[in-house]
């Protein structure tokens, strides 16, 4: 731009003009051309540097839409891809809810939470967002927990299942340490990204009256604590713990937690301690829940180590230096009665 102006000035200065009218015409021509060049160069610079667009907006514009991969009552998740073939998931608030003040506030709250937890392990990374247009970009997930457990149920051992749950506990523990409740924990909101588990969906779906048995939210109601269904603002840490207990049941059994009578005996106390109807009877926090999980996980491994098919309860206890009452109960419940022995 600067060179163009210098050349133009040089050309005008070298013109010898006798008529004042012609000189005035040349001056006006110079001003017109000069203004045109300045505007052209500014447009070029703005286009090259994308000045009018925010960085987040520019990123979404550079991605190519592929398909819808998920939908809830108020949001829609689509798959996008960049020029290098890298996939992303874009979550947007549905158009019909953009004038719903309460719903918009909850969606923005989810963005704020992900921003606050950015970089923390097992929390889905926030790549870009736009609170005016109500969308955000996150990594593309190969599967969610619902899909993973359903498709691999017959192949997963207890160690793998409990390891997944431990990763979920670690993520929620971090959120709780920041005084952040999830309030919408379900297998659909636990995502598998590059072989690791991440928690998403921090509390957008709150109106349980919108749930339908035929839609995306099928089964979500089963994971919500009773006090949360009755009144959302009554949700506490124990509300998330209730949902975590239901998720543990699903991970271990592959079934929706509509009936917990058939919970695996080795982890029945853990599940019961999380999903009690009374809030005060649930685990105090996620750390206590994880401690109990690890205790019964160790007990489960001991069951696998000993050949219990041909061992009496008395023989099992003789190999232990000390047994708590809960562990004794689990041993008895795990055993089969072949014959009565009286002493």
**DSSP secondary structure letter of residue 98:** T
Lowest mean pLDDT among 63-72, 153-162, 306-315: 306-315
Q: Does the pLDDT value for residue 274 go beyond 90? A: yes
User: Is 81 strand, coil or helix?
Assistant: strand
Residues 27/13, Cβ–Cβ less than 8 Å: no
- In sequence order, the 6+-apart residues with CB closer than 8 A to the CB of 110 are 201, 202, 203, 204
Lowest mean pLDDT among 14-18, 221-225, 228-232: 14-18
In this predicted model, what pLDDT tens digit does every residue of 165-192 receive, in sequence order? 999 999 999 999 999 999 999 999 999 9
- In sequence order, the 6+-apart residues with CB closer than 8 A to the CB of 185 are 172, 199, 223, 240, 243, 244, 247
Distance CA 62, CA 104 (A): 25
In this predicted model, what pLDDT tens digit does every residue of 106-153 receive, in sequence order? 999 999 999 999 999 999 999 999 999 999 999 999 999 999 999 999
Give pTM, 2 decimals.
0.72
CA separation, residue 247 to residues 64, 94, 209, 254 (Å): 34, 27, 21, 10
User: pLDDT at position 222, please?
Assistant: 85
| pLDDT level of residue 218 (50, 70, 90 thresholds) | very low
Distance CA 172, CA 165 (A): 11
**Beta bridge mates, 199:** 123, 190
């Amino acid at each position: 731009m600067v060179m163009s102006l210098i050349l133009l000035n040089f050309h005008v200065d070298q013109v010898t003009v006798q008529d004042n009218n012609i000189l005035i015409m040349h001056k006006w021509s110079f001003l017109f051309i000069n203004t045109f060049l300045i505007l052209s160069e500014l447009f070029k610079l703005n286009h090259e540097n994308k000045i009018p667009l925010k960085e987040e907006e520019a990123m979404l514009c550079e991605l190519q839409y592929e398909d819808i991969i998920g939908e809830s009552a108020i949001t829609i998740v689509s798959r996008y891809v960049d020029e290098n073939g890298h996939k992303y998931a874009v979550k947007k608030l549905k158009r019909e809810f953009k004038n719903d003040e309460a719903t918009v506030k909850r969606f923005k709250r989810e963005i704020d939470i992900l921003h606050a937890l950015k970089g923390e392990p097992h929390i889905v990374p926030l790549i870009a967002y736009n609170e005016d247009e109500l969308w955000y970009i996150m990594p593309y997930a190969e599967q969610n927990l619902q899909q993973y457990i359903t498709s691999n149920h017959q192949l997963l051992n207890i160690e793998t299942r409990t390891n997944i749950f431990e990763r979920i506990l670690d993520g929620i523990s971090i959120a709780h340490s920041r005084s952040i409740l999830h309030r919408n924990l379900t297998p659909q909101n636990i995502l598998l990204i590059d072989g690791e588990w991440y928690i998403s969906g921090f509390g957008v779906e709150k109106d349980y009256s919108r749930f339908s048995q035929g839609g995306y939210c099928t089964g979500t109601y089963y994971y919500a604590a009773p006090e949360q269904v009755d009144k959302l603002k009554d949700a506490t840490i124990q509300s998330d713990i209730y949902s975590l207990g239901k998720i543990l049941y699903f991970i271990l059994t592959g079934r929706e937690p509509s009936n917990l009578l058939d919970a695996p005996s080795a982890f029945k106390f853990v599940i019961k301690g999380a999903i009690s109807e009374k809030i005060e009877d649930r685990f105090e926090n996620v750390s206590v829940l994880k401690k109990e999980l690890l205790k019964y996980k160790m007990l489960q491994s001991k069951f696998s180590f000993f050949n219990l098919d041909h061992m009496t309860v008395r023989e099992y206890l003789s190999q232990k230096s000390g047994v708590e009452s809960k562990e004794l109960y689990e041993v008895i419940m795990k055993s089969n009665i072949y014959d009565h022995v009286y002493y």
